[in-house]
Chain A
Amino acid sequence: MTETEFTTIYNKLYPKIYRLCLGYVAGDESMARELSQQTFIKVWNHRNSFNGNAEISTWIYRIAVNCCLGHLKKKKPLKLEIDPACVDDHEDSIENSKQSSDIQQLYSCIDKLKPINKTVILMELEEIPQEEIAATLGYSHGSIRTRLSRIREALLKCLTHGN
């Protein structure tokens, strides 16, 4: 992998990797940045380990997922409460607060899932093809499909009823 190839891959995959990590650490931006950074540092340092048996993106997603699965640091508490006094009457502000609250609730619900299920749904939300999710996590395509439908149900239940 040359520097130019690395730059192309970095620019293309960074947003997806960042959001994957962000979802994994329940919206902790600084932790997500650190995990994304560590992923690409490992990609560069171990670029000779890539044997070409899979897509390069699959190999990078594997490293990102494994970085997330293995990280030990404590998550910062979720900021779910919104102080009504801070929300002005402006419609945009209300809309933004609603969005922020929704995404925080989604992070919180994702955080309740098992680590593998977390990564499955986060990759799916990032529109990574299911075959690639299966290859990244070491499961069959069918198994990923079944898991996804169960995870979606669990998420909907959590988002609707809060558990």
Chain B
Amino acid sequence: MEIKSINKIWEQQTTAPPQFKSQQIIKQAVAQRRKQKTGIAVMCITVGVLIIYAVWQFPDEINMFIVGLFIMIASLLVRIAIEIASNLKKVSGMVNLDGKQYLEHLKRFYNWRKRIHFVITPICFAGYLFGLWQLFPYFKREFSNGFYIYLVASAIISLAVIAAIIFNQVRKELVFLKSLSDNKTASS
């Protein structure tokens, strides 16, 4: 086989026409930007409302229900904020760096993500669990036994699903990071 035959094989490919027209791509781009901005705005408003509520109400009405609720929401917000920051960090490198620099950026990025996964995520998850645990006595007191059992069961199931999703994502990122690190020493 000759070198020319590689080009010949490559030329045999049929190229599918673009799935979208350029105007549709622009629309999608605008929608994606809007979605990002809305997400950040919603998070900022939520944090603002929580702070205002805490300042006004906490001294008079502090109880474990409110504390639990705050810990749950705070854990979620911290994790969501990290995800948004991660996404922005990854995309900024994608647009501004050449391929060689971007590979280095990816290695640093996924090493940083590894620290997030092994330190921050377990803290957030534990915080969320602790907060939820504080709510159960109130649920038990306020709701019927059947509904209480339903709440406990659905909390366990949804937490298990979230844990599985996190585990899968972490595993995928670690495999990717390993492939990037192996790539440094591989010969071809």
Contact = CB atoms under 8 A, between A and B. Distances in A.
Judge: A and B partners, yes or no: yes
A160 B1 contact: yes
Contact of A10 (B5, B10, B22, B183): B22
A106 B10 contact: yes
B146 interface: no
A156 B3 contact: yes
Contact of A137 (B9, B19, B99): B99
A152 interface: yes
A49 B96 contact: yes
18 contacts: A3-B23, A10-B18, A33-B19, A37-B25, A37-B28, A42-B29, A42-B95, A62-B97, A62-B102, A66-B97, A67-B94, A69-B106, A70-B102, A103-B9, A125-B7, A138-B100, A152-B3, A160-B1
B85 interface: no
Interface of A is mostly: helix
A151 B20 CA distance: 34
Given A45-B29, A152-B3, A160-B1, A114 B188 contact: yes
Interface string A50-78: 00000000000011011101101010000
Interface residues of A, number: 56
A150 interface: yes
A117 B3 CA distance: 16
A115 B102 CA distance: 12
Contacts of B55: none
Interface in B3-22: 3, 5-7, 9-10, 12-13, 15-16, 18-20, 22
A116 B180 CA distance: 11
Contacts of B96: 49
Contacts of A160: 1
A33 B98 contact: no
Contacts of B28: 37, 41
B23 to A, nearest CB: 7
A42 B33 CA distance: 10
Nearest to A14: B18
Contact of B9 (A22, A33, A63, A106): A106
A149 to B, nearest CB: 9
Contacts of A139: 100
A113 interface: yes
B38 interface: no
A116 B25 contact: no
Most buried by A among B5, B23, B95, B172: B95
B62 interface: no
Contact of B103 (A18, A116, A156): A116
A40 B94 contact: no
A65 B101 CA distance: 12
Top 10 A-B residue pairs of the complex, sorted by shortest distance between their CB atoms: A138-B98, A138-B100, A137-B99, A7-B22, A44-B29, A10-B22, A66-B94, A41-B29, A46-B95, A125-B10
A109 B114 CA distance: 31
A63 B12 contact: no
Contacts of A103: 9-10, 12-13
